[in-house]
Every structure is written in C-alpha cells, then in structure tokens.
Copies of this chain bind each other. A is one copy, B any other.
Amino acid sequence: MNRFIVVGHKAVTSGDFKLDDMAGGAGRLDILLRCINSALFLSHGIRRDVEIFLILQGEPDPPRTIRINGSEVRYLNPDERSTGALVRNALVKKLDGDEVRSSPGIYISRRSFKQVIDELASISRLVYLKEDGQDVRQQELEGDLTFIVSDHQDLREDEEAELLAHSPLTVTLGPHSYHADHCITIMLNELDRRRWNEP
C-alpha cells in the first residue's frame, strides 16, 4: 500500500463552506482536493492500492482527519468541485469517538497529525517529502510506504519534530519546490516505474 498524509494547516473543519470559495473561505481546501486527485486517479481508473489522509487544522473545530481508501472509494471525479462536495459531506458528520464513514471509501475522525503518523509508523515506512532531502531516485523504496507532504505552508516545528521522532526517510523530488499535489504525482510515477522495470 502507498499512503499519503497531507497537512492542511488552515483547512476548514466544518461543512459550512461554499463550493464556490474553496480556495478562500475554506482555508485552501483546494490544495487538498488536488492532492486527492493526484493520489487516486489514473487515466482509466482509480489507484486501488493508495490511501490518502487529509489532516485539517483550520477553524472552527480542529483537528479532523479525512481518510480516503482507493480500494473502496466511489462517486469520486477528478474535478475540484465534486471532490469538494464529498469532503463537505464528510465534514458534516457528527463525531463521537470513532472514525465514521461518510460515503464509500471516505472516513472522518478527530485524529491529529501526531495520532495518524504514530499509528502508521507501526505498519508502514514513513517518507518525508522535503526540499533538502536526498534524491528520491537514489533511494530504496519498498514495502508499505507513507509519504508526508504539507500544503502551501511547511510543517510547523512541532509537527516536524513529531515526524522526525520516527526517523523517516527524507527525500526530495527535484531542484524546485513543488505544489503538494504535484509532489504526489511525481512520487507515484517514480513508484510505478520501479515496478515497471522489475524483471
């Protein structure tokens, strides 16, 4: 399984936002929606072996974690607006303790960034995508992998410390700083190619 964790530092944590204003009033939710597209879409289908976690940290009630599992997800289209509607459906769910399903393959909980990485660290290798990391093409990448990317803001110092406590591999994709969704597209292509070239 390939997993992606995307931190949305200002992303809205209620369903009370307009689909017409996802880049503004919804705290740059548009970035997270493009990450869903990059993580899950191939030209003729869904990547069934990918799971993406969106960590929403904006007002009014942070945190929320939305988990989308490629092997189960339905009703997903590539455009931002329809994906925004699915995310909004998740955000209106009433939450007690446990994770709740809002539509097939889409789940929401009150888990924090730290809780998500602590859980995944026990079953998956954490890989931090960061400009000053090692060149991805020179790294071994095998088994269950979880890639961590941030939205338009870097991880905060406390978030980075929580992640570094797990001694992740830290890799970079190229000489530029890329948008989070572009990082996911490039990373998945690199993984695709490795399986392509296997004997």
Give A residues with C-beta under 8 Å from B: 19-20, 22-23, 30-31, 34, 37-38, 41-44, 77-82, 137, 152, 173-179, 182, 185-186, 189, 192-193, 195-196
Contacts and interface: CB of A to CB of B under 8 A. Distances in A.
15 contacts: A20-B20, A20-B81, A22-B79, A30-B79, A34-B34, A41-B182, A43-B176, A43-B178, A173-B189, A174-B192, A174-B196, A175-B196, A182-B185, A182-B189, A185-B185
Contact of A176 (B34, B42, B79): B42
Q: How many copies does the complex hold?
A: 2
A23 B174 contact: no
Contacts of A82: 23
A136 B77 CA distance: 28
